[in-house]
Structure 1
Amino acid sequence: MHFASYLPLLPVLGTSVLAWNPPSYDGYRLVWSDAFSGSSGSLPNENNWNIITGNLGVNNELEVYMRDPRNVQHSGGDTLQIVPWKDGSTWTSGRIESKFTFTPTAGGRTMAEGQIRFGGNDIGTKAGLWPAFWLLGDSIRSGTPWPACGELDIVETVNGQLRGYGTAHCTACNEPTGRGGSVSIPNQDWQRWRIVWDRTNGDWRAQTITWFMNDQQYHQLTGAQINDQGVWTALTARPQFFILNMAVGGNWPGYPNDRTQGGYGAMMEVGYVALYSS
């Protein structure tokens, strides 16, 4: 999610759901996960997540993030639902940031993955909606500005389009657009979105960050492409944290129109978030 600045922290089930647990992968061990177990309409586990509130003043977005189960809740079926709503002239939505931080493993591979689907409303009713599953460098919480902190967008979509975008943002990443790739999403149902840091090569220039949808690689970035060891270190060898959110409006998607509908048909639903290491 293109990011201009950062502000520190100052029950209804709308669709059928399925329970998801993080899968096992040969060669990897599960380090951390949240499979979003909880009663219907309850907030996400606040031992795992900071629930963000307010308008963060970034990207010319419209939404006000709320600590409200109407905007961010357990479904009761082991999923998390992040739901935008329009109340009068105000859009509200949800954003959570993990308290868990991790540093990709030196000399090994690290994998971050989430199972996600987007609401089933007609695409024509999603103008201005901007869901994202992404990572920020933890140094932003102690004053390092964006994009020097590093940002990796595991998947973003805009305006309901069936296209997923994976992007790196950094001080050598052609900002404000970043360095990214995209992939066609087969439908609005569940997909697995993943990035893998491969630090097995001792030469940072040969190390990689690779983006996948359902095991299909669709983008890769190398240290040699960044061509700056300090910047590469920010993306691959410094602590990071997870973010899940649904933005409304902003510089990239533009703004909602008269057809835009909030609610469960426009939501972002998450089956699990998981971090693995080889």
Structure 2
Amino acid sequence: MHFTSYLSVLSVLGTSGGVLAWAPPSYDGYRLVWSDAFPGAPGTLPNENNWNIITGNLGVNNELEVYQRDPRNLQMSGGNTLQIVPWLDGSTWSSGRIESKYTFTPQPGGRTMAEAQIRFGSNDISTKQGLWPAFWLLGDSIRHGTGWPACGELDILETINGQLTGYGTAHCTACNEPVGRGGSVPIPNQDFQRWRIVWDLTNGDWRAQTITWFMNDQQFHQLSGATIGDQGVWSTLTNKPLFFILNMAVGGNWPGYPNDRTQGGYGAMMEVGYVAHYST
């Protein structure tokens, strides 16, 4: 897979210092269907025509954070990036989470790609115990009464505790829950990386169709219909509407909980250059 333009580089001064303005790249054989490159004045909330801003503690995974509609937790940098920032105030952790109003269904008989450009704050990894940033997809049916994991979930990128390991995972009723079916990849550093998932539905046999995870064009995980082994479940992951989620969780069953060294703020943030949906 080759891309013909990678970024619109623009040096600007954002609220956390110098940042880069990213534009979704162009890829041979794909057309850009939808994207958000997070334009906006520094300190403003993301575009609410595109995103639902989630508030409260959602009561999942034994997480600690209270999501807030507050530019301190969720803001445009002024340099065409979105910054999701955890903070500890007293004994309460706050953070940010957005869910796209936009939904898409992978293209039958073709290829579909979802991608984001993401980096992490500059704090030392030892200060990130309990932090859990993620870029992922949920089946839109969860908004209409279907429970989890029957709705389907595809985690394009998760990391925990600041560790330079990226995880990609599928969750479904045939995905060895609660662990799911996943793979991992070493992350070179805390700078921007491209995280992508590709549905290849060009084969008419559902067993031969695939979902593949990439970091910077490097494949690190793949599932096929044959691996899932259930056509109805496979259809949930490949033939039903999905929506994007970006969030920074704090604590929970997987990463564990912050310790005395954990620091919130911009040094611990998740910064997103763009989110994009492509199709052949």
Residue of 135, 138, 143 corresponding to 1:136: 138
Asked if the contact 1:124/1:259 (under 8 Å) is kept, the reply is yes
TM (normalized to structure 1)? 0.96
Structure-to-structure mapping, 1:110-149, within 5 angstroms: 110-149=112-151
Structure 2: distance between partners of 1:81 and 1:120: 13
Instruction: Give 1:39's match in structure 2, choosing from 38, 41, 50.
Output: 41
Distance in 2, matches of 1:207 and 1:237, equals 12
Deviation at 1:112, TM superposition (A): 0.1
Q: Deviations over 1:52-107 (max 9, x none)?
A: 00000000000000000000000000000000000000000000000000000000
Q: Deviations along 1:202-256, whole A, 9 cap, x unmatched?
A: 1100000000000000000000000000100000000000000000000000000
Q: Which residue is 1:170 aligned to? A: 172
Distance in 2 of aligned mates of 1:27 and 1:186: 28
Runs of 5+ unmatched residues, structure 2: 1-13
Counterpart CA distance in 1 for 2:86 and 2:48 is 20
- Compute the displacement of 1:15 (Å): 3.3
Say which of 260, 264, 267 aligns to 1:265.
267
> Deviation string for 1:13-50 (max 9, x for gaps)?
12321000000000000000000000000000000000
Is 2:232 the partner of 1:242?
no
For residues 235 and 262 of structure 1, what CA distance do their matches in structure 2 show?
34
Counterpart in 2 of 1:197?
199
Residues paired across the two proteins, number: 267
Counterpart of 1:52, as a letter, is I
Q: How do 1:36-115 residues align onto structure 2 when only pairs under 5 Å count?
A: 36-115=38-117
Cα offset, 1:146, TM superposition: 0.2
Query: What do you get for the CA RMSD once the two structures are aligned?
Result: 0.6
Asked if 1:21 is matched to 2:23, the reply is yes
Secondary structure of the structure 1 residue equivalent to 2:26: coil
Identity %: 84
Q: Distance in 2 between matches of 1:236 and 1:164?
A: 22
Structure 2 Cα separation of the partners of residues 142 and 149 of structure 1:
10
CA contact (8 A) 1:117 1:268 kept: yes
- Report the AA paired with residue 23 of structure 1: P
Rounded to whole Å, the distance in 2 between the matches of 1:162 and 1:237 is 32
Q: Please say if residues 15 and 264 of structure 1, whose CA atoms lie closer than 8 Å, have aligned partners that are also in contact.
A: no
Structure 1 residue runs without a partner (length 5+):
1-11
Counterpart amino acid of residue 113 in structure 1:
E
- CA distance, structure 2, for counterparts of residue 87 and residue 127 of structure 1: 17
- Secondary structure, counterpart of 1:21 in structure 2: coil
AA of the residue aligned to 1:173 = C
Question: Quick one: which amino acid aligns to residue 183 of structure 1?
Answer: V
Instruction: Give me the whole-angstrom Cα distance separating, in 2, the residues matched to 1:68 and 1:252.
Output: 26
What residue number does 1:5 align with? none
Q: Secondary structure at the match of 2:246?
A: strand
Q: Larger % of strand: which? A: 2
The residue type paired with residue 126 of structure 1 is K
